[in-house]
Every structure is written in structure tokens, then in C-alpha cells.
Amino acid sequence: MSPNPDAPLEIAKKAAREKALEEGCLEAVAEQCAEEVCDNPTARDLWEALRPRGAEAIKGAAKSLASRWIDKNRFKTAYQAAHRRSGSRQDSEDAAQETLRKFHGLTEPEQASLKAQPAKLFNWLRRVADCQVVDGYRHTKKLVPVEQVERPDVDLAADEALVAREEENEHQARRLALSAAIDRLPPDLLKVVRLRLQQGPEMTFQEIGAALDLSLQKAYRLYRAALSLLRQSLTRINPNPKE
């Protein structure tokens, strides 16, 4: 059997996705990370060059590139927050770099707490970047733009709206992740779960069993097995769920 020419890419995508999930990214973001890390000519050449060294070399390179991709996106988040405050490219870049330095300077438990809740990490990056700009103004005796000082209520309202949108985006991402996890269930488990979701809790397991030609005990065991698989899948996305 001839070797699969896409094997290095498949190994790299899996490793990049695992690294993104370890870093607290939602599953959809992890998929995007894997695609952007792997799907370019330079990366493809890298995977082919690493092929003789084996899967571990490919995984290591993919995880390293994924870490850079994740840092690049965190830098972008911090930069945008700083630029809202300063309007200066140089000041915003300095604030974003200092924000990432502070993040990597946190203890492992502190980083893990932020990574467990992507919206919380997003807000932390924005808040620290904003503070870096203000501190920089103080040290260089620059002034914060007047409209931002005299009308804090406008900024507060905008921030509250942004936080609300972020929370809604996170809830939507969780719903999408749950739907994707359900679709990946084995066929026998999927039938039970879909019937339960369609009919609601009013439909008993005895009725589900009758509809699928199963015993009550079998229908219940399949449903419990499905819930266990779903919990495992969602735990990989958010290791410390709030709910």
C-alpha cells in the first residue's frame, strides 16, 4: 500500500487542534487554528520535510506554529483594545506586547483559569491593554483624549454592549459545539438522543424503546452512554464549565 500523501497534514492538523484546545480555544476556533497553521504552501513543505523524522517531529512543529498563531490572535485582541484608547499605532503595539508579556508572566493556575473561559481571557486582554495605554500616558505626561475622559458613560455603554455580544457569541459557540458533538455520536446512540430531543422529556424511555425496537433498559443505557460521550467532548472544549 502506498503511503498517504496527506498523512503529515492530518497529523499536523490534529496536533494543532489539540494545542489550541489546551490553550482554551473553543472547538470552532481550534479548527480555524488547525486550518490556518497547516493549509499553506510553506507549512506543507515543512510537513513533507519532517516526514522522515516521524509523527512526533510533525506534531512538535505543528504545536509550535499553533502557539504562535494563538499569540498572534491574542496580540490582535490587545492591540484593538489599546488602539480604541490611544489612536496611535506605536502606543497600541507597545501596549499589546506588554499585555502578552504580563499574560505569559502569570502563574500556571492563573493562566489555566483564564484559558478555561475564552470570554474571560478576551476581556482580561482588553482590560490590561487599556490600562497599559493609560499608564503609558501618565509616564510620558500625555493626556487621554478628552472625549474619553469627559464621557465615560459612552465608553461604559459600549463596553457593556461588547461584553454582551461576546457572551452571546460564546453561548452560540457552545450550542454549535454541542450540535457538532451530537452529530458525531455512534448511530445507535444518535437515534436515542435525537428522539429524546425531538419529543422532549414527556416521552418516556419505555416509549423511546418501543419506537426503536429496544427494551426500556437498553434505551436508557444508550442515552446515558450518549450523555457521557457528550460530556467528554464538551469538557475538552471547556475544562472548567461554569454550569
pLDDT tens profile 124-165: 888 898 888 888 766 665 544 544 544 444 444 555 565 566
Q: Determine contact, residues 166/124, Cβ cutoff 8 Å.
A: no
Residue 188, helix vs strand vs coil = helix
For residues 154 and 100, state if they share a domain. Answer: yes
For residues 16 and 131, state if they share a domain. Answer: yes
For residues 135 and 215, state if they share a domain. Answer: no
Q: Determine contact, residues 82/32, Cβ cutoff 8 Å.
A: no
> 216 is in which domain, residue-wise?
184-243
Tell me, yes or no, whether 1 lies in a domain. no
Question: Which pLDDT score, from 0 to 100, does residue 152 have?
Answer: 41
The domain total for the chain is 2
Cα–Cα–Cα angle for 227, 233, 236, rounded to 5 degrees: 140
Question: Which pLDDT score, from 0 to 100, does residue 153 have?
Answer: 44
Mean pLDDT, the chain cut into blocks of 10 residues (243 residues total): 65 91 82 86 86 91 91 87 83 88 88 81 87 75 48 48 64 75 86 84 83 87 86 63 44
For residues 157 and 224, state if they share a domain. Answer: no
Of 218, 230, 217, which Cα lies nearest the Cα of 186? 230
**Residue where a domain terminates, one of 133, 150, 183:** 183
Q: Determine contact, residues 11/65, Cβ cutoff 8 Å.
A: no
